[in-house]
Amino acid sequence: DAGITQSPRHKVTETGTPVTLRCHQTENHRYMYWYRQDPGHGLRLIHYSYGVKDTDKGEVSDGYSVSRSKTEDFLLTLESATSSQTSVYFCAISPGEMGVFDEKLFFGSGTQLSVL
Amino acid sequence: AQSVTQLDSHVSVSEGTPVLLRCNYSSSYSPSLFWYVQHPNKGLQLLLKYTSAATLVKGINGFEAEFKKSETSFHLTKPSAHMSDAAEYFCVVSRTSGGSYIPTFGRGTSLIVHP
């Protein structure tokens, strides 16, 4: 299995507080992604990174920010958590060699976030 | 723009009968397509992928999928369902944006297997 660790695994927080989720990989893969999973919506892309300090928005990026200061770490921050951000968050990585767009994703175990 | 539509939110079969999970895609050029599986309370695992080498793709656990360009479909099949196949299945199409690789997921199909 790919070396991907998400932390924390579970988090309960209150509306309005900041929350940071961490994704750590040991594979030296170029691409890292944050998805959220909600019933009936599948996985929706929040943000992704294609290299150190290179990030871009996905389809549901409002209310989220990310940072990637090292190849191995990709942080997702909810600046001021809202109840609509209660979800399961998955980190994924991919080798992503330039020009090769058939790379599979490797997933972390997920973080269950509850915003009360 | 690329997108993927999973035509059934739930599919129910009896153990030992065939499985068909349907997926249609939209793509402006030849896509890369994938099926992933998620067992209860677990992460996602790749079942199979299509990348234009062959239209019939074989995956793990006896699953296979056929790419049909004329129908823009990539349906997942298995001849005989097993209880352990009960899970959520996701069809995924890849797209590129400014040189980056961005997988886009369908909404998922929940496979229920009855004894």
Instruction: Work out the pLDDT band at A95, boundaries 50, 70, 90.
Output: confident
Listed in sequence order, the residues at least 6 apart from B12 whose beta carbon sits closer than 8 Å to its beta carbon are B112, B113, B114
Instruction: Work out the pLDDT band at B2, boundaries 50, 70, 90.
Output: confident
pLDDT score of B27 more than 60: yes
Using only C-alpha atoms, chain A has a radius of gyration, in whole angstroms, of 13
pLDDT score of A15 more than 80: yes
* pLDDT at B51 (0 to 100): 76
List CB contacts (< 8 A) between B53 and chain A.
Answer: none
User: B interface mutation test: which of A88, A93, A101 has the most B CBs within 10 A?
Assistant: A101
Instruction: Provide the pairing of β-strand A106-107 with A111-115.
Output: unpaired
List CB contacts (< 8 A) between B46 and chain A.
Answer: 104-105
pLDDT tens column, A43-88: 999 999 988 999 999 999 999 999 999 999 999 999 999 999 999 9
Listed in sequence order, the residues at least 6 apart from B10 whose beta carbon sits closer than 8 Å to its beta carbon are B109, B110, B112
* pLDDT at B89 (0 to 100): 97
pLDDT score of A99 more than 60: no
Question: What is the three-class DSSP state of B16?
Answer: coil
User: B interface mutation test: which of A103, A109, A112 has the most B CBs within 10 A?
Assistant: A103
pLDDT score of A31 more than 60: yes
Please judge whether A105 and B36 are an interchain contact, meaning their C-beta atoms are less than 8 angstroms apart: yes
